[in-house]
Structure formats: C-alpha cells, structure tokens
Amino acid sequence: MEESRLCQWTVVRSLLAVLQWWGFNVTVVVMNKWIFQKLDFKFPLTVSCVHFICSAIGAYTVIKVLKLKPLIAVEPEDRWKRIFPMSFVFCINIVLGNVSLRYIPVSFMQTIKSFTPATTVFLQWLVWRKSFDWRIWASLIPIVGGILLTSVTELSFNMLGFCAALFGCLATSTKTILAESLLHGYKFDSINTVYYMAPFATMILGVPAMLLEGNGVLEWLHTHETLVPSLTIIFSSGVLAFCLNFSIFYVIHSTTAVTFNVAGNLKVAVAVLVSWMIFRNPISGMNAVGCGVTLVGCTFYGYIRHLLSQQLPGAPRTPRTPPKTPRGRMELHPLVNDKLDDKV
C-alpha cells in the first residue's frame, strides 16, 4: 500500500514538474512576443539585458540570501577561462532568439529551434570528427525535412527572423560543444549556471544595447502612453525567465530521460498552439504538417540518444566526450543541453 502511494506521488510530482515547466516556458515566449508586437518595444538587446539582470538578482537571492541551493565553487581563473567564453556564446544565443521573435511568429521560431539537434550533431562531426551511430543520422532526416517544409510554407516568413533563429540554433550547438570541454568537471545545475553566467552576459551586452538601442528606448519612454503597465510587463518577463530556469532544475530531478524528451517536444506544440490562439498568425495545413514532422524527428532523436546512453561502459567514445550517464541520475548543465530552453 505504501509503495503504491509512493508510486502515485512520483507520477503526480513528475506531472506537476512538467506542467510548471511548460507554463513558465510558454509564458516567457508569449510575453516576449507581446512586448515586441503589442507594446511596440522593438529592442531585443534591451529585453535580453533586462532578463539577464533579473536572472542574476534571482540567482543571487536563491543561493546567497535564501540558501535554497548550495553554491558550486569555481576557481577565479576558471571564471574567465571557462565561464566567460560560455557566457559570450550564451549571450549571442539569447539575443538571436529575441531578434527572431521580433520578426517571425512564435510557431515558426519554435519549430526552427527544434533544428538544434541536427546542428549539434553536424558541428560535433565537423569540429571534433566525432562518429555517430547511423540511427542518429537517420533521426535527423525528419527534423531537416520538417524544417524545410515549414520554412517553404510559412505564411509570415521573414528572412531576418529566419536567419536569427537559424544562427541561434548554431549558437546553442556551439554552446553544447564548448560545455563538454570548458565545463568538464563542474556539475552545474540551472541556478548555479545563471549565477555565474548572467552577470557576465549583462556586462557583455550592456554597452551594445546602450549604443544601438539607447536612443530608441528613451524615445519610447517619452512617447509610450501606458508606460507603467508596459514596464511592468517587460520586467515581469525577466522575473519569469529566471523562474523558468528554476523550473528546469525541478523537472530534471522529477522525470526520467524519456519523459523529459517527450515533454520537451510536446512543449513546443503547446507553445505553438497557445501563441496561435493569442496572436492568430496564419498557419497553413502543410506548415502544421512540417512542424509535426520536425517534432516527431526530435522525439526519435532523443529516444535513440537515450538508447545509446544505456550502452555498457565499454562502448567507444571520443577522447574528450565525458561518459554518458542517464539524464535522470545526474545534474546536467541545463542551459547547454540541446533540448532545454535558452531563456534567461
């Protein structure tokens, strides 16, 4: 009886973890699109800076003030040699995501982001000469095909937004590759990741944001009619972006690898549906089919990766690739995993 109750609680906890992850992710994406489209605040660098600042304050509060998470110590030298390069790539990734949201619908942007597994595999093969099982390559076929179909049939296609989202995938993949070498030996959870990277990202992005968007932001502040409610929405998006990182930490420790992969792809479908209900961007039938094919390919890719990770310890791997450990049994580096959200 007790075992049955424990099993039921485990299922309920996993479900709650997934639902709150979906809620924060979809809310952050939709709020960012609302800021750019409805509030006419067309400054993606500034929005990214607000997110970084809120996340840095939030991580400091959780670790130093509330002491909900222990601080993972990092040598001062490693902060510049390891954390700073990661923060730079991470910063580019977040900015490109916000730029793409300014010009293309959420549904299209989310579908393109699903291209990340393909770019990760390709870069690892190209840069590290890493060999992959044929099933990995096969799983990329529906991903690439779905992206092509979605792009060709997108009714609100914008080249700048498309390129920003595509290069954002490359930035995410680069971050994944760098993490395996630069962060080897550090088992960062999502909160410690934000604690170390958000201040660097703010420092990196602050000057370009002021130079490129400062005058526009000042003009918007002087001419916008509903200033207080709009600023509340902008800063709330930053707070929710930090909460998203906290939810990632919770969902990793509450679900299995297979559940996490399936939930990650369903999350994209939920984001597409919710954004369509709010913004009513036109979606053709073939466009929806392309999105579905991409998500099926991503699910298959995650399943194959999980199967290969369960191989015996004697399986061959590249010299710089750390041993595979089941995702549910270790603290991964959430912000560099190709199935996690690049939101801070």
What's the pLDDT at 64?
Answer: 93
- Residue 53 pLDDT exceeds 90: yes
The one-character DSSP state at 145 is: H
Give me the mean pLDDT over the 303-323 stretch: 61
How large is the C-alpha radius of gyration of the chain?
A: 20
Average pLDDT over residues 70-92: 89
pTM reported for the whole predicted model? 0.82
DSSP H stretches of helix in 104-189 = 106-113, 116-127, 134-153, 159-182
Q: Give the pLDDT of residue 340.
A: 47
Q: Residue 225 — pLDDT band, cuts 50, 70, 90?
A: confident
User: Within 10 A of 310 (CB to CB), how many other CB atoms are there?
Assistant: 11
Q: How confident is the model at residue 17 (pLDDT cuts 50, 70, 90)?
A: confident
pLDDT tops 90 at residue 212: yes
Among 10-19, 49-58, 241-250, 310-319, the range of highest mean pLDDT: 49-58
Looking at residue 68, what is its pLDDT?
A: 87
pLDDT at 269 over 90: no
Average pLDDT over residues 293-305: 90
Please state, for a pLDDT cut of 70, what percent of the chain lies above it: 88
Q: Is residue 147 over pLDDT 70?
A: yes
Report the pLDDT value the prediction gives residue 6, as an integer from 0 to 100. 67
Q: Which residue bears the tokens 């420790």?
A: 253
In which region does residue 340 sit, left (phi positive, over 0), alpha (psi from -120 to 50) or beta (all else)? beta
Ordered DSSP codes for 175-190: HHHHHHHHTTT----H
Report the helix count and the strand count for the chain, using DSSP H and E. Answer: 12, 0
State how far the Cα of 246 lies from the Cα of 250, in Å rounded to an integer.
Answer: 7
Give me the chain's average pLDDT, please: 84
Q: What is the mean pLDDT of residues 206-212?
A: 94
Q: What is the pLDDT, as a whole number, of residue 188?
A: 77
Residue 323: which pLDDT band, with cuts at 50, 70 and 90? Answer: very low
Contact of 335 with 197, CB cutoff 8 Å:
yes
Q: Indicate the burial class of 70 (C-beta count within 10 angstroms; 0-12, 13-18, 19 or more).
A: exposed
Each residue of 152-197: pLDDT tens digit? 999 889 999 999 999 999 998 888 778 777 777 777 777 888 899 9
Q: Is the confidence at residue 332, as pLDDT, over 70?
A: no
- What is the structure's pLDDT at 16? 86
Mean pLDDT within 246-266: 77
Q: What are the tens digits of pLDDT across the range 100-127?
A: 999 999 989 989 999 999 998 988 888 8
* pLDDT value for 313: 53
Spatial separation of the C-alpha atoms in residues 287 and 108, rounded to whole Å:
9
